[in-house]
């Protein structure tokens, strides 16, 4: 009988969608679930982290708590939403010290407070290994919602911030480098309000995987210019290709209507924004480097397979 490791996370998700929504009535497949709420959409997302796959051994409980909150807020940001509440279900061993749990809760509270979001509930259960399942709820005006679909040939491919969190952690051994994610909540709302953005996704599993998601959702191709990819300070040009596939950056990857690009790129979004490519009619996804080009494979992190490259 086939195992999940044979399929990989993406195939598993598609299989579950076919079971839960066989007639494709729920429009599942964006960073958040979308519920009609009058003149706005209610956005709901959930993201789980576990000791084995997300938490370096030397991670502090505060950093783990921050990360558990940030990854959920990032999904709301990717759709241009304003987060309005979070919930956390926490499974942990019975011999966990109360002080450790207090510090974990402090990290969750610190992140949520930074972005003006209350913690409105959750659950706790005994579990052999630390597991945290977060849920975030947000709102976005219907006219401003950002979807993974919508990119059109000629649009500019762009991203917030810089790549390389995973590599920075690998080089330094500092758990802070990979866990203190900055969800682009404010930036996502500004992108939505601009009217210039045609599609958007958060880069949780790597730039290459995210480009492939946008390609599939929009039925378009992409040309990505390797030399324009911005790297975190301290990383080298030779780290660029690895950074494309590593994941964990949680920056926003989005496409921009070229007629509105100048005003968007000249505005103050609160973080660097870099144009890194273009949308193409040809469905291929190409990486341009110097005078050459090659296909950009989908090599981001994938649960069950554990593959980055």
pLDDT in tens, 242-291: 999 998 999 999 999 999 999 999 999 999 999 999 999 999 999 998 77
In a domain, 101, yes or no: yes
Residue in the block written with tokens 């030399």: 227
What pLDDT, on a 0 to 100 scale, did the predictor assign at position 3? Answer: 81
pLDDT band at 206 (very low <50, low <70, confident <90, very high): very high
Tell me the two tokens of residue 101. 């749990």
Tell me: do 235 and 137 sit in the same domain.
no
Query: Residue 166 in contact with residue 248, Cβ under 8 Å?
Result: yes
In a domain, 306, yes or no: no
Q: What is the CATH number of the domain that holds 79?
A: 3.30.1330.10
**Average pLDDT taken over every residue of the chain:** 92
Query: Residue 125 in contact with residue 91, Cβ under 8 Å?
Result: yes
Give me the mean pLDDT over the 4-26 stretch: 73
Tell me: do 262 and 127 sit in the same domain.
no
Name the residue range of residue 64's domain. 31-143
Tell me: do 58 and 176 sit in the same domain.
no
Q: What is the number of helices (H) and of strands (E) in the chain?
A: 11, 12
Torsion region of 300: left, alpha or beta (phi above 0 gives left; psi -120 to 50 gives alpha): beta
Buried-state track 274-288, b at ≥16 Cβ within 10 A, e below 16: bebbbbbeeeebbbb
Give me the mean pLDDT over the 174-198 stretch: 96
In a domain, 73, yes or no: yes
In a domain, 300, yes or no: no
Tell me: do 162 and 106 sit in the same domain.
no
Tell me: do 99 and 221 sit in the same domain.
no
For residue 113, what are the CA distances in angstroms to 94, 128, 202, 217?
Answer: 28, 30, 21, 33
What pLDDT, on a 0 to 100 scale, did the predictor assign at position 56? Answer: 87
Tell me the two tokens of residue 15. 């299989």
Which residue, of 79, 113, 143, is where some domain finishes?
143
Q: How far apart are CA 284 and CA 67, in angstroms?
A: 34
Q: How far apart are CA 252 and CA 258, in angstroms?
A: 18
Per-residue pLDDT tens over the stretch 47-102: 999 988 888 889 999 999 999 999 999 999 999 999 999 999 999 999 999 999 99
pTM for the model: 0.92
Helical axes 61-78 vs 98-114, angle rounded to 10°: 30
Per-residue pLDDT tens over the stretch 234-249: 999 889 989 999 989 9
Domain count along the chain: 2
Tell me: do 185 and 282 sit in the same domain.
yes
Tell me: do 161 and 289 sit in the same domain.
yes
Helix (H) or strand (E) holding 198: strand 197-202
Per-residue pLDDT tens over the stretch 286-306: 999 877 899 999 886 667 665
What pLDDT, on a 0 to 100 scale, did the predictor assign at position 23? Answer: 66
What pLDDT, on a 0 to 100 scale, did the predictor assign at position 227? Answer: 94
Helices (H), the chain: 4-7, 9-20, 51-54, 61-78, 98-114, 165-172, 175-179, 185-194, 207-218, 240-246, 261-266
Write the DSSP symbol of residue 53.
H
What pLDDT, on a 0 to 100 scale, did the predictor assign at position 309? Answer: 42
Write the DSSP symbol of residue 160.
E
Tell me: do 134 and 160 sit in the same domain.
no
pLDDT band at 107 (very low <50, low <70, confident <90, very high): very high
């Amino acid at each position: 009988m086939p195992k999940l490791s044979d399929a990989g996370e993406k195939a598993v998700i598609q299989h579950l969608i076919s079971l839960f929504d066989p007639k494709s009535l729920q429009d599942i497949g964006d960073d958040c679930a979308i519920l009609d709420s009058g003149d706005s959409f209610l956005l709901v997302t959930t993201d789980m982290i576990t000791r084995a796959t997300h938490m370096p051994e030397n991670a502090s409980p505060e950093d783990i708590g921050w990360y558990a909150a940030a990854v959920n807020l990032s999904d709301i940001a990717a759709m241009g939403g304003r987060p309005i509440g979070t919930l956390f279900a926490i499974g942990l061993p019975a011999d966990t010290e109360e002080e450790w749990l207090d510090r974990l809760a402090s990290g969750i509270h610190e992140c949520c407070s930074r972005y003006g979001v209350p913690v409105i509930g959750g659950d706790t259960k005994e579990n052999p290994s630390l597991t945290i399942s977060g849920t975030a709820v947000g709102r976005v005006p219907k006219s401003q919602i950002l979807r993974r679909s919508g990119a059109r040939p000629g649009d500019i491919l762009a991203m917030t911030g810089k790549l390389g969190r995973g590599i920075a952690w690998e080089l330094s051994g500092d758990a802070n480098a990979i866990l203190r994610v900055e969800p682009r909540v404010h930036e996502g709302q500004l992108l939505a309000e601009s009217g210039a953005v045609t599609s958007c996704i958060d880069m949780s599993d790597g730039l290459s995987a995210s480009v492939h998601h946008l390609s599939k959702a929009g039925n378009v191709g992409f040309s990505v210019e390797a030399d324009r990819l911005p790297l975190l300070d301290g990383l080298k040009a030779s780290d660029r290709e690895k950074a494309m596939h590593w994941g964990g950056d949680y920056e926003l990857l989005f496409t921009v209507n070229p007629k509105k690009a100048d005003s968007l790129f000249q505005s103050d979004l609160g973080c660097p924004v870099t144009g890194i490519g273009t949308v193409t009619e040809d469905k291929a996804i190409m990486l341009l480097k110097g005078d050459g080009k090659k296909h950009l494979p989908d090599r981001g992190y994938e649960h069950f397979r554990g593959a980055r490259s």
